[in-house]
């Protein structure tokens, strides 16, 4: 392959001196760059090179800063500067000149200027801001090349904050007559999508146009965006499955221009991109997958040529086939492909084969069996990467029977690994499988010892943490627990007696904790011996102060017996004057506790783990202290978030010291809200927050005495069916491998090496025969957990009863529907009753799944035809066809509270229903709040008791308006709960979630979840202002966003008409319209202002939003766009 | 793609293109590490490497190594072909390319790369189209060099 450029250049200097050589013909021998390069090649030492380059840089610096340097010379200087930077010498003085060149040069100078900028600067470089105007200018240029250059730089690096400034121009280019411009514009938008997805939300429709572009290049470029969007939200693009399949069919069938062929394979890049998209769309979705089967089969069939590129396509096909809903015929073919890869003598293909096998082995463990001999060979492969990938594969097939062999292999590799990244990764894996599948205690402790010693201090802290948790919590069998701990103690004592200075810190910490806690289990071991061993660790030079404090704590637990006491005395004296405050504290504790044995026994009780410890995570015991402090005049606690917000507000306001930041009534209410002096809420706020911190800190800090208490009861239970059972494994001999269907390259006939056969039988034991659940540790951690944890608080029978109703579409008002159409694919759920039935059905079928409390969408939507993806239609449909709901609507109106009857209420949305209890909701717009009404109706023939409704939300502040909570619900009765909602933080949609629990007449408890989505405009209220007030506030607000919107067409005063639409739909207040400009104001409940300035400009409406609240402008802008698109 | 490096058998960097934001120092460290690792590998070894959480795909053409970093789940084989297509483009443009062409005209090599890959993604895979775009821009250059005066506004529509 390399013959294309097989034109080796042997002696560089000699070539340079003979101009007749073909390579040199193109060099301009006069150019300064050429002489620089020539100069460098003639040098002999690194030192000389450095000197020469420094000289060169000085010369360049002189020239670039001279006013007489023309742009043309500047271009030449830039090229030299790039060269120097590439050699590793800094030329940062040139950066600004590169920007200048891009700005001022002629088209061809610009090209170099832009190139230099792209090479010199990175995405967050501050100088990039200076480039924005240049880009803006070039995007508007009539010269195609300049537009191309601008688009190129924009797709490489552009400051995120400045995207709105150029977005309209880039968007415009999507309809440019030249395909090269359209293509680059698509890629620029892809880049924007990656760095600021919400900025390009409104152009999703245009992406569809790019997908349908007649130029294959533009279409291919648009797939980058689609791949990304589908990755994030596969449900939203299912309707495109058919289109992607059609495109792939055409590509595979050779319908694209010949230009796009690569080694006579039609557009491989496009094929691969499409295969990736299809695998995302077909994942867990049978109906979508079925559309793909044919084209996948075709792709497999067509990719027959013996060339790298076809293998690349095949690999992607195989991955796709194993990702989507399975089809036996295809799986068989894909498996054959993987076999061909693995058995190939070409090392790259072998690697890809292993990678593919690793990917699929979770679904098809038998495939690994077929190739066991090859895998064994790969384990000893001289190339590390092959070995590494093989280990990855082994890790995936680990089970209780082969764990010892596999862990041994992993540890062997760990011992030789020099790369930190690999070490950390493998260590985690060894610890994972060792915990999960350990055959016996001795092996487990020995393995973990190796992990701790090899891992050193690179280890992630969760490995020792999990290990200690496991040791302390043990499993159900007390005797087993004791044995495990005893083993640990034994092995640690002997380790400390050996060479403790060779042990890493983390390991020493683990050792000291275990010895402190459990050394008493070994009766023949004197505490004094342990204390002496630990004291030795304290004396180690390399022991960190963290380790020392673990050791001191362990010693504190060992205050028993005369001999130990005397050692401890010495230790505590030494460290009670330590410079390290933590150590000093530990030493003091040690001293005081050992003087007072009663206190000691109470503080550090033995075997504290046998009883679960209650942790008061709300820190309610501090409430008294807090209220005292507050009463004494202390300032109430504010969460960091709140403080930051206030700081931001204070900053914004301070620019205009006497300005009215808000109308008086509102600012009053805001003060009220913040300083609310009710002790209860204050203290609970405090408690909540501080627990967060303690949890976070818990993993790293030195709260040693607390450590055991923070840990929960969830733990692993080692398998007790210990001892490796040597099952006679289905060893496949060489002829069997061939029979599997390997066409190309028969492997060197394996000399039925006894050793390898044995290894194979121990590695692949249990792969074929067992059920899948125990095979794939990684894929089903949930399963594993449930199986092992007998003490799980919720019994599985309870779980299966729990019905979970996921989100229902709120078919509220027109604008709401609009917002939903693109945003949330979950909306297209089946109608209410269907949903409940199906979820109950599946809950009963697999109770373990329901433990999550939510169903995967795939489960629920199984029978739904995927065509119903256009959300708007489905939502409307489900409401209209569902008659009971419609009926209920009518009835519910009569239950509206008196003060809501006149007000504008949204449609009733069914939330959930369970055992004859139905929940529906609607919301009512009021001036100062948004009222959420939840209607609970009992259509069954019996009463339900202990009824509790809880509504909660991260986005929304919820307060209950009903005087007394509903407790009982008589049959055929409807109760109404009222909640007042205000927004905590802006978001395109705000979601309220809730929980209903009640007891059935037969006393069985029921729990159901629901959620309700509210579009931002529900929380928007007009803000009445004078123009002067508006002006003052405008200056004070720091968060802004700009965008061009479409004007309402075909009317005389389009500005007025557009603003009317916004006023009507989004409840904005139009402050004034002056000529071609308009100012608009609104507030987000309760009192967050947002101002909008609009100007008619070139047929579009240029709007500029400002607010003191981050994200509010963006979110509001989104709804403005939607509102106007609908017109 | 995260970045692309071209370096010679002697370990001299010939071209570097970074598609992820990194500081100068990190860039230098990464390229030094990788150049060392790759040069130490034997010819028959796998063209792929694991490096931190990235996959390195490299290939040697005559005296030059082409090296790309992609994400772990990416397709290594197609990355090899991306390298190959780039070499083909260089070859076509320079007419039987050699290391010297790239050393002395490295800015051209960058222009071609930018036309082929944009922001780390394949932009245009048709050889003809890439070269057409480059030629158009070059044409502008030549025209500009001839009269050396009225350079502005050469609309190429």
Residues A3-54 have pLDDT tens digits of 444 343 333 333 444 333 333 334 444 578 888 888 888 877 888 888 889 9
What is the Cα–Cα distance from A1026 to A846, expressed in whole angstroms? 62
- pLDDT for A989-1024, tens place per residue? 888 888 888 787 777 778 888 888 888 888 888 888
Q: How far apart are the first and last CA of chain A?
A: 59
Q: Is A9 on the interface with B (CB under 8 A)?
A: yes
Length of chain B: 157
Q: What angle do CA A700, A460, A590 make, to 5 degrees?
A: 40
CB burial string B3-23: b at 16+ within 10 A, e below: bbbbbbeeebbbbbbbbeebe
**pLDDT for residue A512 is more than 80:** yes
What is the Cα–Cα distance from A175 to A9, expressed in whole angstroms? 47
Range of A352-361, A798-807, A816-825 with top mean pLDDT: A352-361
- pLDDT for A259-290, tens place per residue? 888 888 888 999 999 999 999 999 889 999 99
* Chain B residues with CB-CB distance to A269 below 8 A: 78, 122, 125
Q: A778: which DSSP letter?
A: T
- pLDDT for B65-101, tens place per residue? 999 999 988 999 999 999 999 999 999 999 888 888 8
Nearest chain A Cα distance for residue B107, angstroms: 7
Q: Which residues pair with A1090 in a beta bridge?
A: A1082
> What is the arithmetic mean of pLDDT over A513-523?
83
What is the Cα–Cα distance from A226 to A753, expressed in whole angstroms? 51
Strand pairing report for A909-914 and B54-61: unpaired
Closest chain A CA to residue B82: A269
Q: What is the largest CA-CA distance in chain A?
A: 103
What is the Cα–Cα distance from B34 to A465, expressed in whole angstroms? 35
Interchain contact, A2 vs B121, CB within 8 Å: no
Alpha helices in B18-126 (DSSP H): 24-39, 76-94, 99-104, 106-116
Closest chain B CA to residue A25: B101
Nearest chain A Cα distance for residue B53, angstroms: 8
Interchain contact, B133 vs A148, CB within 8 Å: yes
Instruction: Share the mean pLDDT of chain B.
Output: 85
What is the three-class DSSP state of A925?
Answer: strand
Q: Which residues pair with A1014 in a beta bridge?
A: A990
Strand pairing report for A1039-1046 and A1069-1074: unpaired
B44 burial (CB, 10 Å; 0-12 / 13-18 / 19+) is exposed
Interchain contact, B77 vs A315, CB within 8 Å: yes
Q: What angle do CA A123, A170, A205 make, to 5 degrees?
A: 110
Confidence of residue A855 (pLDDT cuts 50, 70, 90): very low
Q: What is the largest CA-CA distance in chain B?
A: 56
Interchain contact, A217 vs B124, CB within 8 Å: yes
Interchain contact, B125 vs A309, CB within 8 Å: no
What is the Cα–Cα distance from A319 to A311, expressed in whole angstroms? 12
- pLDDT for A433-449, tens place per residue? 888 888 888 888 888 88
| ipTM field | 0.90
- Give domain limits for chain A: 249-368, 440-559, 895-1016, 1023-1126
Q: Which residue has the higher pLDDT, A719 or A453?
A: A453
CATH of the structural domain A1023-1126, one choice from 3.40.50.970, 3.30.530.20, 3.30.310.10, 1.10.3720.10:
3.30.310.10
Nearest chain B Cα distance for residue A79, angstroms: 7
Q: What is the pLDDT of residue A223?
A: 93
What is the Cα–Cα distance from A674 to A1088, expressed in whole angstroms? 14
Distances (CA, A) of A646 to A671, A1020, A1105, A1111, A1125: 11, 21, 21, 16, 36
* Residue of B46, B104, B125 lying closest to A37 (CB–CB): B104
Confidence of residue A705 (pLDDT cuts 50, 70, 90): very low
Residue A112 contacts residue A78 (beta carbons within 8 Å)? yes
Q: And the tokens for A16?
A: 């340079």
What is the three-class DSSP state of A508?
Answer: helix
- pLDDT for A1070-1124, tens place per residue? 888 888 888 899 888 888 888 888 888 777 888 888 888 888 888 888 888 888 8
Q: What is the pLDDT of residue A614?
A: 65
Say which range, A398-402, A736-740, A1049-1053, B88-92, has the weakest mean pLDDT.
A736-740
CATH number of B3-154: 3.30.450.60
Alpha helices in A121-197 (DSSP H): 132-139, 144-156, 163-172, 179-195
Q: What is the pLDDT of residue A1041?
A: 81
Q: What is the pLDDT of residue A273?
A: 93
A541: left (phi over 0), alpha (psi -120 to 50) or beta: alpha
- pLDDT for A769-810, tens place per residue? 443 333 333 333 333 333 333 333 433 334 333 433 333 444
Q: Which residue has the higher pLDDT, A740 or A276?
A: A276
Residue A553 contacts residue A705 (beta carbons within 8 Å)? yes
Tokens 């200075």 correspond to what residue? A501
CATH architecture of A895-1016: Sandwich (2.60)
Residue A478 contacts residue A484 (beta carbons within 8 Å)? no
Residue A359 contacts residue A319 (beta carbons within 8 Å)? yes
Give the mutation candidate from B114, B116, B157 for the A interface (greatest A CB count, under 10 A).
B114
Give the mutation candidate from A108, A342, A426 for the B interface (greatest B CB count, under 10 A).
A108
Residue A593 contacts residue A604 (beta carbons within 8 Å)? yes
> What is the arithmetic mean of pLDDT over A538-557?
85
What is the Cα–Cα distance from A335 to A320, expressed in whole angstroms? 12
Closest by CA to A341, choosing from A750, A745, A768, is: A745
* Residue of A118, A180, A267 lying closest to B133 (CB–CB): A180
How would DSSP label each residue in A226-278? Answer: HHHHHHH-GGGGGGGHHHHHHHHHHHHTT-S-GGGEETTEE-HHHHHHHHHHH
Interchain contact, A4 vs B156, CB within 8 Å: no
Instruction: Share the mean pLDDT of chain A.
Output: 74
- Give domain limits for chain B: 3-154
Interchain contact, B80 vs A308, CB within 8 Å: yes
Q: Which residue has the higher pLDDT, B125 or A818?
A: B125
- pLDDT for A194-210, tens place per residue? 888 888 888 888 888 88
Please give the model's pTM, rounded to 2 decimal places: 0.61
Interchain contact, B62 vs A5, CB within 8 Å: yes
Interchain contact, B77 vs A108, CB within 8 Å: no
Residue B91 contacts residue B30 (beta carbons within 8 Å)? no
> What is the arithmetic mean of pLDDT over A531-538?
85
Closest by CA to A726, choosing from A762, A778, A683, is: A762
> What is the arithmetic mean of pLDDT over A585-596?
82
- pLDDT for A116-174, tens place per residue? 999 998 888 888 888 999 999 999 988 888 999 999 999 988 888 888 889 999 999 99
For helices B106-116 and A107-120, give the axis angle rounded to 10 degrees: 80
* Chain A residues with CB-CB distance to B14 below 8 A: 86
Confidence of residue B50 (pLDDT cuts 50, 70, 90): confident
Closest chain B CA to residue A87: B13
What is the Cα–Cα distance from A732 to A368, expressed in whole angstroms? 11
Instruction: State the virtual CA torsion across A420, A423, A425, A429 in degrees, nearest 10.
Output: -170
Residue A918 contacts residue A969 (beta carbons within 8 Å)? no
Element housing A1101 (H / E):
strand A1100-1107
Interchain contact, B125 vs A262, CB within 8 Å: yes
Nearest chain B Cα distance for residue A272, angstroms: 9
Nearest chain B Cα distance for residue A286, angstroms: 24
What is the Cα–Cα distance from A559 to A794, expressed in whole angstroms? 40
* Chain B residues with CB-CB distance to A422 below 8 A: 50
Q: Which residue has the higher pLDDT, A457 or A1058?
A: A1058
**pLDDT for residue A973 is more than 90:** no
Percent of chain A with pLDDT over 70: 74
Residue A888 contacts residue A937 (beta carbons within 8 Å)? yes
Q: Which residue has the higher pLDDT, A1105 or A943?
A: A1105
How would DSSP label each residue in A868-894? Answer: TT-HHHHHHHHHHH-HHHHHHHHHHHT
* Residue of B19, B61, B98 lying closest to A2 (CB–CB): B61
Nearest chain B Cα distance for residue A122, angstroms: 5
State the CB neighbour count (10 A cutoff) for residue A752.
Answer: 11
Q: Which residue has the higher pLDDT, A662 or A584?
A: A584
> What is the arithmetic mean of pLDDT over A106-112?
85
Q: What is the pLDDT of residue A902?
A: 66
Q: What is the pLDDT of residue B25?
A: 87
**pLDDT for residue A818 is more than 60:** no
Interchain contact, A5 vs B46, CB within 8 Å: no
**pLDDT for residue A744 is more than 50:** no
Say which range, A763-767, A1102-1106, B129-133, has the weakest mean pLDDT.
A763-767
Closest by CA to A812, choosing from A1090, A1065, A1068, is: A1065
Q: What is the pLDDT of residue A975?
A: 81
Helices vs strands, H then E, count in chain A: 50, 16
């Amino acid at each position: 392959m390399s013959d294309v450029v097989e034109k080796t250049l042997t002696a560089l200097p000699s070539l340079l001196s003979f101009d007749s050589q073909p390579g040199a013909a193109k060099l301009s021998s006069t150019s300064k760059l050429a002489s620089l390069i020539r100069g460098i090649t003639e040098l002999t030492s690194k030192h000389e090179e450095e000197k020469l380059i420094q000289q060169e840089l000085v010369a360049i610096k002189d020239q670039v800063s001279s006013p007489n340097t023309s742009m043309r010379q500047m271009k030449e200087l830039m090229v030299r500067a790039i060269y120097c930077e590439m050699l590793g010498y800094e030329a940062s003085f040139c950066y600004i000149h590169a920007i200048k060149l891009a700005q001022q040069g002629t088209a061809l100078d610009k090209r170099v200027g832009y190139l230099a900028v792209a090479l010199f600067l990175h995405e967050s470089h501050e100088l990039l801001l200076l480039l924005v105007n240049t880009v803006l200018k070039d995007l508007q240029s009539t010269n195609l090349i300049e537009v191309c250059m601008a688009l190129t730089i924009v797709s490489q690096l552009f400051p995120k904050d400045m995207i709105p400034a150029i977005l309209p121009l880039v968007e415009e280019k999507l309809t440019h007559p030249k395909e090269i411009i359209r293509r680059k514009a698509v890629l620029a938008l892809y880049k924007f999508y990656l760095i600021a997805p919400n900025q390009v939300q409104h152009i999703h429709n245009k992406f569809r146009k790019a997908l349908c572009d007649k130029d294959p290049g533009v279409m291919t470029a648009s797939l980058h965006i689609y791949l990304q969007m589908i990755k994030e939200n596969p449900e939203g693009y299912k309707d495109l499955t058919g289109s992607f399949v059609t495109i792939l069919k055409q590509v595979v069938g050779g319908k694209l221009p010949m230009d796009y062929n690569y080694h006579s394979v039609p557009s491989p890049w496009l094929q691969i991109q499409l295969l990736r998209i299809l695998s995302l769309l077909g994942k867990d979705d049978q109906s979508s997958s079925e559309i793909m089967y044919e084209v996948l089969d075709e792709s497999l069939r067509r990719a027959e040529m013996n060339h790298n590129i076809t293998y690349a396509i095949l690999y992607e096909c195989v991955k796709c086939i194993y990702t989507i809903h399975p089809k036996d015929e295809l799986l068989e073919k894909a498996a054959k492909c993987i076999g061909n890869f693995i058995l190939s003598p070409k090392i790259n293909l072998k690697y890809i084969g292993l990678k593919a096998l690793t990917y699929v082995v979770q679904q098809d463990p038998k495939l690994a069996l077929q190739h066991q001999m090859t895998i064994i060979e790969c384990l000893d492969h001289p190339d590390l990467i092959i070995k590494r990938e093989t280990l990855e594969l082994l890790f995936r097939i680990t089970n209780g029977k082969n764990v010892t062999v596999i862990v041994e292999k992993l540890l062997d590799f760990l011992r030789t690994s020099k790369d930190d990244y690999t070490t950390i990764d493998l260590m985690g894996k060894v610890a994972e499988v060792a915990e999960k599948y350990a055959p016996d205690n001795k092996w487990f402790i020995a393995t973990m010892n190796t992990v701790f010693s090899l891992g050193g201090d690179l280890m992630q802290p969760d490995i020792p943490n999990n290990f200690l948790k496991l040791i302390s919590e043990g499993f159900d069998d007390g005797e087993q627990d004791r044995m495990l701990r005893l083993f640990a103690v034994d092995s640690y004592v002997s380790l400390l007696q050996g060479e403790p200075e060779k042990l890493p810190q983390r390991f020493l910490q683990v050792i000291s904790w275990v010895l402190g806690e459990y050394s008493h289990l070994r009766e023949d071991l004197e505490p004094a011996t342990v204390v002496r061993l630990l004291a030795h660790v304290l004396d180690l030079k390399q022991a960190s102060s963290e380790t020392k404090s673990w050791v001191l704590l362990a010693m504190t637990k060992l205050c028993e017996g005369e001999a130990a006491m005397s050692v401890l005395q010495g230790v505590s004296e030494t460290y009670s004057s330590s410079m390290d405050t933590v150590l000093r504290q530990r030493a003091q504790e040690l001293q005081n506790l050992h003087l007072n044995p009663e206190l000691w026994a109470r503080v550090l009780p033995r075997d504290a783990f046998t009883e679960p410890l209650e942790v008061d995570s709300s820190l309610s015991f501090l409430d008294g202290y807090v209220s005292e402090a507050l009463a004494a005049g202390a300032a109430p606690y504010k969460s960091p978030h709140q403080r930051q917000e206030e700081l931001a507000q204070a900053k914004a306001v301070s620019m205009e010291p006497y300005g009215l930041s808000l109308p008086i009534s509102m600012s009053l209410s805001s003060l009220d809200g913040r300083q609310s002096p009710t002790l209860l809420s204050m203290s609970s706020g405090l408690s909540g927050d501080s627990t967060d911190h303690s949890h976070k800190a818990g993993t790293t800090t030195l709260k040693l005495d607390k450590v055991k208490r923070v840990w929960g009861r969830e733990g692993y239970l080692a398998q007790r069916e210990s001892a490796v059972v040597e099952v006679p494994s289905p060893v496949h001999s060489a002829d069997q491998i061939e029979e599997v269907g390997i066409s190309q390259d028969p492997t060197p006939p394996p000399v039925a090496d006894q050793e390898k056969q044995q290894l194979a039988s121990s590695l692949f034991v249990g792969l074929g025969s067992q059920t899948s659940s125990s095979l794939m540790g990684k894929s089903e951690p949930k399963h594993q957990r449930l199986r092992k944890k007998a003490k799980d608080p919720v019994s599985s029978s309870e779980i299966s009863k729990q019905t979970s109703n996921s989100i229902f579409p709120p078919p509220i008002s027109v604008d709401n529907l609009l917002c939903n159409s693109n945003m949330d694919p979950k909306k297209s759920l089946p109608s209410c009753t269907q949903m409940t039935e199906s979820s109950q059905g599946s809950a009963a079928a697999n109770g373990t799944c329901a433990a999550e409390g939510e169903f995967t969408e795939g489960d629920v939507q199984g029978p739904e035809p995927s065509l119903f993806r256009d959300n708007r239609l489905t939502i409307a449909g489900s409401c209209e066809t569902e008659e009971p709901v419609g009926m209920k609507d009518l009835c519910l109106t009569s239950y509206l509270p008196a003060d809501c009857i006149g007000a504008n209420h949204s449609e009733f949305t069914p939330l959930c229903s369970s055992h004859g209890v139905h929940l529906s909701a609607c919301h009512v717009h009021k001036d100062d709040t948004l009222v959420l009404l939840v209607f609970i109706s009992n259509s069954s023939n019996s009463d339900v008791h202990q009824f509790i409704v809880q509504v909660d939300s991260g986005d929304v502040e919820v307060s209950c308006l009903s005087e007394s909570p509903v407790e009982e619900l008589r049959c055929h009765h409807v109760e109404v709960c009222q909640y007042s909602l205000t927004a905590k933080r802006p978001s395109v949609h705000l979601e309220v979630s809730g929980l209903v629990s009640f007891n059935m007449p037969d006393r069985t408890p029921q729990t159901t979840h629901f959620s309700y989505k509210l579009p931002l405009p529900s929380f928007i209220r007009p803000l009445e202002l004078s123009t002067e007030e508006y002006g003052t506030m405008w200056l004070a607000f720091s968060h802004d966003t700009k965008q061009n919107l479409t004007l309402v067409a075909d009317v005389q005063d389009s500005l007025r008409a557009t603003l009317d639409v916004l006023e009507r739909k989004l409840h904005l207040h139009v402050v004034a319209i002056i000529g071609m400009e308009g100012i608009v104001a609104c507030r987000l409940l309760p009192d967050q202002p947002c101002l909008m300035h609009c100007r008619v400009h070139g047929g579009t409406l240029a709007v500029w939003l400002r607010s003191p609240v981050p994200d509010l402008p963006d979110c509001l802008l989104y709804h403005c766009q939607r509102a106007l698109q609908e017109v | 793609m995260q970045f692309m490096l071209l370096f010679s058998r002697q370990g001299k960097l010939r071209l570097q293109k970074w598609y992820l934001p990194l500081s100068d120092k990190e860039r230098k460290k990464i390229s030094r590490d990788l150049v060392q690792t790759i040069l130490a590998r034997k010819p028959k070894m796998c063209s792929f490497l694991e490096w931190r959480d990235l996959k390195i795909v490299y290939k040697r053409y005559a005296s030059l190594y082409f090296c790309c970093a992609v994400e772990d789940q990416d397709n290594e084989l197609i990355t090899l072909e991306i390298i190959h297509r780039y070499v083909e483009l260089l070859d076509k443009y320079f007419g039987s390319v050699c290391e010297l062409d790239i050393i002395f005209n490295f800015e051209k090599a960058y222009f071609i790369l930018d036309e082929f890959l944009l922001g780390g993604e394949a932009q245009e895979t048709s050889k003809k189209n890439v070269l057409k775009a480059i030629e158009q821009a070059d044409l502008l250059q030549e025209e500009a060099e001839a009269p050396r005066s009225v350079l502005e506004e050469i609309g190429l529509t």
